[in-house]
Amino acid sequence: FHMDSHELVARFLEECKRKYPKSVYFYALSSSIQGWLQNFEAALYEANVGLQTDPNNCELLYYKAVALRLIGRD
């Protein structure tokens, strides 16, 4: 990962999620990257999709809470 290239990482994670749709790790990373890109609705979506696979994942719950707060729906 080139963590300074958020757009490139976001595109790479899209491929990873297509290849491994049940891996919550990629949804957590994608939610985080979308947050860095200030796409808070997209960050919320990614967290919610990951939570469908693992509803108790603390990292995804945190990203969801942050996104909700930043879009004013906390």
Residue range 44-61: mean pLDDT, rounded: 97
Q: Could you tell me the two tokens for 25?
A: 């790790």
Q: What is the pTM of this model?
A: 0.88
Q: Is residue 1 predicted with pLDDT exceeding 60?
A: no
Cβ neighbour number for residue 67 with a 10 Å cutoff: 24
pLDDT at residue 46, rounded to an integer: 97
Amino acid at 21: P
Closest CA to 43 of 2, 6, 3: 6
Give dist(CA 73, CA 26) in Å, integer. Answer: 24
pLDDT at residue 2, rounded to an integer: 64
The mean pLDDT value of the chain amounts to 93
Q: Are 46 and 31 in contact (CB under 8 A)?
A: yes
